[in-house]
Amino acid sequence: MKAYEITNKGGEGALALVDRPKPSPGPGEVLIRVRAASLNYRDLLTIRGRMGAGTKPGLIPLSDGAGEVAEVGSGVTRVRAGDRVAGIFTPGWISGRPRRGVADASLGGGNTDGMLREYALLHESAVVHIPKHFSFEEAATLPCAAVTAWNALVAAGHVAAGETVVVQGTGGVSIFGLQFARMSGARVIATTGSENKMARLRELGAEVINYKTTPDWDKRVMELTDGEGADHILDVGGAGTLAHALQAIRSGGFITVIGLLTGMSGEINPLGILFRAAHVVGIRVGSREMFEDMNRAIESNRMRPVIDRVFQFEEAPAALDYLASGRHFGKICIRV
């Protein structure tokens, strides 16, 4: 079978197309014929080598993939050959809170091979059925970005109709956050650094702030909410956005710390959290149970993900360059 491995090309991480033996499922295991995969910002960090020393040589990258069950091992009861499934991001996190260390082992990172390959072997507990109205490309967008947004807004945040949600930028997590917020009847304020993405955000039902021309976007959020602030902020910026989020949150509001797009370290004034009585919560994607709850909501709302572009399997390196360019709106997929 064909697969991509992470290789070192001239000192920089890159993708190498290789042949590997097709695996066979052992007891409790499921062999998936992968039909589509999708990219996340984390894959860029893993492949280009900025995720630290923990990535094994020759790792197959990408957490997100969907396909059909080709074969099952003995004792498998959760799925059957022919079922349409996706792998879950954190194979060991089924429900509840993640036990210490469990959230560290995820597909396409560290020692755990990911989904950029024709066949993937997963334990039956680490797969979910995909929404019935989805293509494989659509289903491949879900395991990381969508589950993260769902966890932040619904599982952890308990978003309610009429609340105001702020999402930052137009990447995978934020566009799912926008869609789930609208699905829940919430008002959405979205930021973007790109003038030409503003119209598309409005089409999806968001009010828009350009964080480049309005660097103090928190002040604009306060204006738009009559001085109250937002109920929820999905913070994907990290060091450069968290202080603004603390200015834009309403009293008792909910900030989820999700991403580090602008850096990992910075100063946070604890008084900001205290005075706003803010809930500041770290998110690490989510459990299988959250994924399944989300899929039910997606099906009953006939919701569809926003896919910017689908690349062919041979074009995987170009897909990664496209992600790095930041030109995308929503998700980038790879057909396998």
Ligand X SMILES: NC(=O)c1ccc[n+]([C@@H]2O[C@H](COP(=O)([O-])OP(=O)(O)OC[C@H]3O[C@@H](n4cnc5c(N)ncnc54)[C@H](OP(=O)(O)O)[C@@H]3O)[C@@H](O)[C@H]2O)c1
In this chain, which of 20, 182, 219, 284 binds ligand X, going by CB under 6 A? 284
Element (H, E) at 61: none
Nearest distance in Å: CB 244, ligand X? 9
Cα atoms in the Cβ-side hemisphere of radius 13 Å centred on 137: 16
One-letter amino acid of 274: L
Residue 258 or 334 with smaller CB distance to ligand X: 258
75 binds ligand X (CB under 6 A): no
Nearest distance in Å: CB 270, ligand X? 22
Q: Answer for the pair 208, 231: CB distance below 8 angstroms, yes or no.
A: no
- By beta carbon distance, the residue nearest ligand X is 171
> What CA–CA distance (Å, rounded) separates 114 from 327?
25
258 binds ligand X (CB under 6 A): yes
140 binds ligand X (CB under 6 A): no
> What CA–CA distance (Å, rounded) separates 272 from 280?
11
DSSP state for residue 220 in the 8-state scheme:
H
- DSSP for 295-310 reads HHHHHHHT----EEEE
> What CA–CA distance (Å, rounded) separates 68 from 71?
9
Residue 50 or 302 with smaller CB distance to ligand X: 50
In this chain, which of 170, 184, 287, 295 binds ligand X, going by CB under 6 A? 170
The residue count of the chain comes to 336
107 binds ligand X (CB under 6 A): no
DSSP state for residue 5 in the 8-state scheme:
E
167 binds ligand X (CB under 6 A): no
In this chain, which of 261, 273, 281, 297 binds ligand X, going by CB under 6 A? 261
- DSSP for 93-133 reads --SSSPPTTGGG--TTBTTB--S-BSEEEEEGGGEEEPPTT
6 binds ligand X (CB under 6 A): no
Residue 74 or 213 with smaller CB distance to ligand X: 213
In this chain, which of 127, 236, 306, 319 binds ligand X, going by CB under 6 A? 236
Nearest distance in Å: CB 276, ligand X? 20
Cα atoms in the Cβ-side hemisphere of radius 13 Å centred on 148: 30
Nearest distance in Å: CB 232, ligand X? 15
169 binds ligand X (CB under 6 A): yes
Nearest distance in Å: CB 331, ligand X? 7
In this chain, which of 47, 140, 144, 209 binds ligand X, going by CB under 6 A? 144
Query: Which residue has tokens 């009953």?
Result: 300
51 binds ligand X (CB under 6 A): no
148 binds ligand X (CB under 6 A): yes
63 binds ligand X (CB under 6 A): no
164 binds ligand X (CB under 6 A): no
DSSP state for residue 22 in the 8-state scheme:
P
Interface map 183-222 toward ligand X (x if CB under 6 A):
--------xxxx--x-------------x-----------
Tell me whether residue 205 is exposed, middle or buried, using C-beta atoms within 10 angstroms of its C-beta: 0 to 12, 13 to 18, 19 or more: middle
In the three-class reduction of DSSP (H, G, I as helix; E, B as strand; rest coil), residue 240 is classed as helix
233 binds ligand X (CB under 6 A): no
> What CA–CA distance (Å, rounded) separates 184 from 153?
10
Backbone angles phi and psi of 210, in degrees to 5: -85, 115
Residue 249 or 323 with smaller CB distance to ligand X: 323
Binding site for ligand X (CB under 6 A): 40-42, 144-145, 148, 168-174, 191-194, 197, 211, 236-237, 240-241, 258-262, 283-285, 323, 326
